[in-house]
Amino acid sequence: MRFDSSADVVIVGAGPSGIFTALGLLDSGSAACIVIVEKGLAIEDRSCPKAKAGRCVGCEPCRITTGFSGAGAFSDGKLSLSCEVGGDLPELIGERLAQSSIDRVDDIYLRFGADTHVEGVGAPDEVKEIRRRAIQAGLKLVDCPIRHLGTEKAQEIYGRIEDHLHDAGVELMFRTECLDVVMEGDACRGVIVKGTDGVERAIAAERVVVAAGRRGADWLERVCVEHGIDHAPGPVDIGVRVEMRNEIMERVNNVLYESKLIGYPNPFRNKVRTFCQNPGGFVSQENYDDGLAVVNGHSYKERKSENTNLAILCSHHFREPFDQPIAYAQKIGAVANMLGAGRILVQRFGDILDGKRTWQDELNRSNVHPTLPDAVAGDITSAMPYRTMTSIMNFMLAVDQAIPGFAAGETLLYAPELKFYSNQVKMDKDFNTNRKNLYCLGDSSGWTHGLMMASVMGYLMGERLARES
């Protein structure tokens, strides 16, 4: 193949794992020529038009999920400071290295302006009481220190990192989509990209790091299949985002900021967990390929609502012969979108228990006012699988024992909340895949879930590449 340009290291994706791969190289004194290919925009150009338009206008690609820093810049921006949280990376590299690397990466975030305050520490007696109530309800509480960046502050921090990379000579190719990797035998030799002009170009590289993020999980799975990159389907998380008044969550919010509760409710015993809690936050919509709309949540440092929102996710593990968990979740999301005429569905928990849909006039007179104003009142149970919905409902009733009012009749459930990280790329502790010179990192690799662990995986990768150069 004829290459149009070359680099020492090409990084596909400017999310946390890709960014920190470049930082790991630079901090190690590497003089490598580094190119980052990113489908979205530079962080200074990222803004969601919904704030002005009052509704999602369907940007392609979505400005919330793509661009420099990935979805992290427009999410709650929480850094989990314990290796117990954030995916399976500790199983790959060991808990000791994972925790020490979290501490080092946390220092880097502080260097670029992260808030020095850590949530979830300093109230051990109150945490014990919350844990006691969780145990009585048959749940496990994972209390994890959290450094909350905040949606707007995260953008400032990543903006400084973007400037740092640019000033250090890293080439940042925005609005450029990676179409494929270039393989010669069992070795990766580069990537094929396409910019806004529609012209395909080939970039030769000594090393290729695919850090495509959760948004790129489906694409990476196709690449793995086409090029024989060893991988295995992992679990897929299907769930809802719940929203209630801050008064219900006040104690947990003040003591822990984020409560990570895990249960295995009857009758199916699937793992169900809370995730991404946003005190005083806002429910949001994200758009994926093929027009799929999914729900998420944000929390700002300064701007606050009267509500707290968090995800409840039910994990599904599939066995042979089925090997398309991402497609399965996408189908569920598509049905939910169809019922909502392309928008997010919302339903009151009490209406689910009563076997009826929710109507807009019922939302209007509720104590809980939706922070996603264009969500469509309806019936999420018409889209969610019975196994999933039953598990979520029984989990919520258990959480209600630990946090009274959690499963109140007016608690809102939004759907679909989907997490696409089911394709786990097989690799060794040094991140080597079965294809030479090709590395797969972050949430799209299936090994990490969230900002901190993705950043850690990238930073360790950058240090390793620097040692080998």
Residue 205 is predicted with a pLDDT of 98
pLDDT at 403 over 80: yes
Residue 185 is predicted with a pLDDT of 96
Domains, the chain, in order of start with CATH, read 5-114+150-232+424-468 (3.50.50.60), 124-144+235-419 (no CATH)
Residue 302 is predicted with a pLDDT of 86
Instruction: Say which residues have a Cβ less than 8 Å from residue 317's Cβ, sequence separation at least 6.
Output: 234, 235
Instruction: Say which residues have a Cβ less than 8 Å from residue 207's Cβ, sequence separation at least 6.
Output: 8, 9, 10, 437, 439, 465
Residue 7 is predicted with a pLDDT of 98
| High-pLDDT (> 90) share of the chain, % | 83
pLDDT at 322 over 80: yes
Contact 345, 389 (CB under 8 A): no
pLDDT at 460 over 90: yes
What residue type is 73 in one-letter code? A
Residue 352 is predicted with a pLDDT of 98
Cα 355 vs. chain centroid, distance in angstroms? 32
Residue 355 in tokens: 């076997």
pLDDT at 73 over 80: no
- Residue 85 CA to residue 139 CA, distance in Å, equals 16
Contact 62, 37 (CB under 8 A): no
Residue 207 is predicted with a pLDDT of 98
Cα 394 vs. chain centroid, distance in angstroms? 25
Residue 259 is predicted with a pLDDT of 86
| High-pLDDT (> 70) share of the chain, % | 98
What residue type is 116 in one-letter code? T
Residue pLDDT, tens place only, 198-212: 999 999 999 999 999
Provide the pairing of β-strand 272-278 with 307-316.
antiparallel
How far separated are the first and last CA of the chain, in Å rounded? 24
Handedness of CA 75, 156, 462, 61 (dihedral sign): positive
pLDDT at 54 over 80: no
Residue 6 is predicted with a pLDDT of 97
Residue 253 is predicted with a pLDDT of 95
* pLDDT-based confidence at residue 466 (cuts at 50, 70, 90): very high
* Residue range 188-205: mean pLDDT, rounded: 97
Q: How many CA atoms does the CB half-sphere of 459 hold within 13 Å? A: 21
Residue pLDDT, tens place only, 87-130: 999 999 999 999 999 999 999 999 999 999 999 998 999 999 99
Q: Is the whole model's pTM more than 0.85, yes or no?
A: yes
- In 3D space, the residue among 277, 294, 281 whose CA is nearest the CA of residue 417 turns out to be 294
- In 3D space, the residue among 56, 57, 78 whose CA is nearest the CA of residue 311 turns out to be 78
Residue 422 is predicted with a pLDDT of 60
Instruction: Say which residues have a Cβ less than 8 Å from residue 230's Cβ, sequence separation at least 6.
Output: 224, 425, 426, 433, 434
* pLDDT-based confidence at residue 326 (cuts at 50, 70, 90): confident
Contact 154, 75 (CB under 8 A): yes
Contact 37, 173 (CB under 8 A): yes
* pLDDT-based confidence at residue 289 (cuts at 50, 70, 90): confident
pLDDT at 165 over 90: yes
Residue 354 in tokens: 């009563």
- In 3D space, the residue among 193, 283, 297, 179 whose CA is nearest the CA of residue 227 turns out to be 179
Residue 119 has what DSSP assignment? Answer: B
DSSP string covering 318-342:
--TT---HHHHHHHHHHHHHHHTTT
Residue 65 is predicted with a pLDDT of 85
Contact 19, 165 (CB under 8 A): yes
* pLDDT-based confidence at residue 291 (cuts at 50, 70, 90): confident
Contact 459, 103 (CB under 8 A): no
Residue pLDDT, tens place only, 15-44: 999 999 999 999 999 999 999 999 999 999
* Residue range 423-438: mean pLDDT, rounded: 96
- In 3D space, the residue among 138, 143, 167 whose CA is nearest the CA of residue 81 turns out to be 143
pLDDT at 296 over 80: yes
Helix, strand, coil abundance in the chain, percent, nearest 5: 35, 25, 40
Residue 320 is predicted with a pLDDT of 84
pLDDT at 72 over 80: no
